Amino acid sequence: MMKNIRVLIVDDSAFMRKVLSDILLSHENITAVDTARNGKAALEKVKEFDPDVVTMDIEMPEMNGLQALKEIMSFSPRPVLMLSSLTKTGAESTIKAMELGAVDFIPKPSGSISLDIQKIKDEIIEKVLAASQVPFKNMKKKNSFAPPTTTSFEGGKEKYIVAIGTSTGGPRALQMVLRGLPRNLPAPVVVVQHMPPNFTKSLANRLDMIAEINVKEAENGDILRDGTVYIAPGGFHMEFVQKGKTLAVKLSQRDPVKGHRPSVDVMFESIAAQTTFKTIAIVMTGMGSDGAKGVIKLKETSMDTIVMTESENTSVVYGMPKAVKRTGLTDYSEDLDAISSKIIEQLEK
């Protein structure tokens, strides 16, 4: 039997506090224990009610959501879901929140006071339920980080493409992995992170600032180059077409797959159809099973494909990696802080 999940709602809008309470109370296993109108009040109520999950608005008076999140993570870590607007500023703040330890985010459909918030009722409930299941040891753990060592990759070896799929918990996981890759990586890296438009652009910009390797949001027609990371833009599938001795990015807005656009399966299946590169396919933290079908296709096409999954030990949500593991096709299951060195090790062979 599922336990009752106790949620604290933090938002400066009385309307949003009321509607979010009503949405959560509509689920038999969720209780809205209380609400707070700013970060300062939220800190007191976290101490008072010890909620299982906190939903946190970003823009608030007295103490904003980022400041409150930082405090919560320092004195009483727990799953926090950010609510953010679909703006460039909202996206940048959300990426920062992920770095500070927020487990996931819910984009408000129409600004800070979203009168139409009911239309994402199912998503809100699903994310609160998922957040409550996060084994918080994974969130609290300070992943050790060592800058990439200078590596002399020998020439004349087979060409590889590194393809990464992730979802919930992905921004922090990507930060960890990409910061461990050297600028002279002899392979392009392609990434699907489940996120809406605007957010992937902010994520790419942030990762480019903190990683040695070049990171950009993929654009239609981009020619894949070694030592560059291409992140699929929110709202678009990322596929590839042959372009001389490499591949070019082909973005499309065909139907979402299992509710996702971009889809990891779509990216993996497109890579399976090409013969230019051998593939290192990596599936990290995330809800659901996106990537498992694509891994099967990659291995069917070429048994030389190397499949890596993030371990249950470090995954924020062990859904996507578990689905791939169940296919029996995983070559390596690695803790997050070992993935970048394992990529380098494979490329050095």
Catalytic residue among 290, 311, 315, 340: 290
- List C-alpha distances in Å: 144 to 231, 298, 310, 335, 337: 24, 31, 15, 11, 7
Rounded CA Rg of the chain: 20
Strands (DSSP E) contained in 169-277 are 189-193, 214-217, 228-231, 237-243, 246-252
Q: Determine which one of 167, 202, 263, 315 is catalytic.
A: 167
337 is catalytic: no
Strand 80-85 with 160-166, pairing: unpaired
Does 290 participate in catalysis according to the annotation? yes
Q: Which of 194, 237, 270, 340 is catalytic?
A: 194
**Which among 170, 98, 218, 188 is positioned nearest to 320, based on CA atoms?**
170
Q: 135-144 long-range CB contacts below 8 Å, 24 or more apart?
A: 136/77, 136/78, 136/79, 138/169, 138/313, 138/314, 138/315, 138/316, 139/77, 139/79, 139/101, 139/103, 139/316, 140/77, 141/314, 143/176, 143/314, 143/336, 143/337, 144/337
Q: d(Cα 168, Cα 318) in Å, to the nearest integer? A: 9
3-class state of residue 287 by DSSP: coil
**Residue 319 Cα distances to 77, 173, 175, 303, 336, angstroms:** 22, 14, 20, 24, 15
| Residue 20 CB neighbour total at 10 angstroms | 25
Say which amino acid occupies 27: H
Give the whole-angstrom CA distance, residue 153 versus residue 145.
Answer: 22
Active-site residue 116, yes or no?
no
Catalytic center residues: 167, 194, 290
